[in-house]
Structure 1
Amino acid sequence: MVNIRSLDPSASPLDYYGSELRRLREDAGLSQSQLGEAIFCTGSLIGQIETAHKVPTREFSERIDAALMTGGFFSRLVGLVLRSQLPSWFQEYAEMEAKAAYISTYQCQLVYGLLQTPAYARAVLSVEYTDRLEEMVAARVERQRILEREKPPVLWAVLDEAVLFREIGGREVMRGQLEHLLTFSREPWVQIQVLPFEAGEHAAVMGSFNVLRFDSNPDLFYSESYDSGHMTANPQVIRERSVGYSRLQATALSVEESAELIARVMEERYGHGAVA
Structure 2
Amino acid sequence: MAKGIDPQESLAALFGCRVRKLRTAAGLTQAELGRMTHVVSTRITQIERASGARPSQELAQALDAALVADDLLVDLWPYVYREAFPDWVQAFMALSARATAIRQYLAHVVPGLLQTEPYARALLSVGRTLKSEEQLEERLSARMARQTRLRGADRPELWVILDEAVLRRPVGGPDVMRDQLARLLATAEEPHITVQVLPFAHGEHGVLGGSLTVLDLPDGTETAYTEGAHYGQLIEDPEEVGRFAVTYDLLRAAALPPHMSLDMIRSAMEDNHHDATVVSRSDRRRLAQKQLQQSGRGRLRRGGGRTPRSRPRP
Q: Does the TM-score normalized on the shorter chain lie above 0.5? A: yes
- Which residue matches 1:267? 270
Contact 2:95 2:217 in 1 (8 A): no
1:244 CA displacement:
2.0
Q: Go from structure 1 to structure 2 and tell me whether the alpha carbon gap of 1:275 and 1:125 turns closer, same or farther (over 3 Å shift).
A: closer
Q: What is the identity, as a one-letter code, of the residue corresponding to 2:260? A: E
Query: Structure 2: how far apart are the matches of 1:269 and 1:225?
Result: 26
> Whose radius of gyration is greater, 1 or 2?
2
- Which residue matches 1:155? 158
Q: After the TM superposition, which of the residue ranges 158-167 and 211-220 deviates more from structure 2?
A: 211-220
Identity %: 38
1:198 aligns with 2:201: yes
Contact 1:86 1:136 in 2 (8 A): no
Query: Structure 1: how far apart are the matches of 2:71 and 2:22?
Result: 13
- Which residue matches 1:19? 17
Structure-to-structure mapping, 1:1-276, within 5 angstroms: 5-54=3-52, 55-128=54-127, 129-131=130-132, 132-205=135-208, 207-271=210-274, 273-276=275-278
1:58 CA displacement:
1.6
Query: Structure 2: how far apart are the matches of 1:185 and 1:66?
Result: 34
Q: Go from structure 1 to structure 2 and tell me whether the alpha carbon gap of 1:68 and 1:238 turns closer, same or farther (over 3 Å shift).
A: closer
Point out where structure 1 has 5 or more consecutive residues left out of the alignment.
Answer: none
Q: Go from structure 1 to structure 2 and tell me whether the alpha carbon gap of 1:182 and 1:124 turns closer, same or farther (over 3 Å shift).
A: same
Q: What SS does structure 2 have at the residue aligned with 1:186?
A: coil
1:226 CA displacement:
4.5
1:217 CA displacement:
4.5
Structure 1 residues 181-213: Cα deviation after superposition (integer angstroms, max 9, x where no partner)? 112122111111001112222343353211112
Contact 1:85 1:139 in 2 (8 A): no
Q: Go from structure 1 to structure 2 and tell me whether the alpha carbon gap of 1:117 and 1:130 turns closer, same or farther (over 3 Å shift).
A: farther
Point out where structure 2 has 5 or more consecutive residues left out of the alignment.
Answer: 279-314
1:26 CA displacement:
0.9
After TM superposition, the score normalised by the length of structure 1 is 0.91
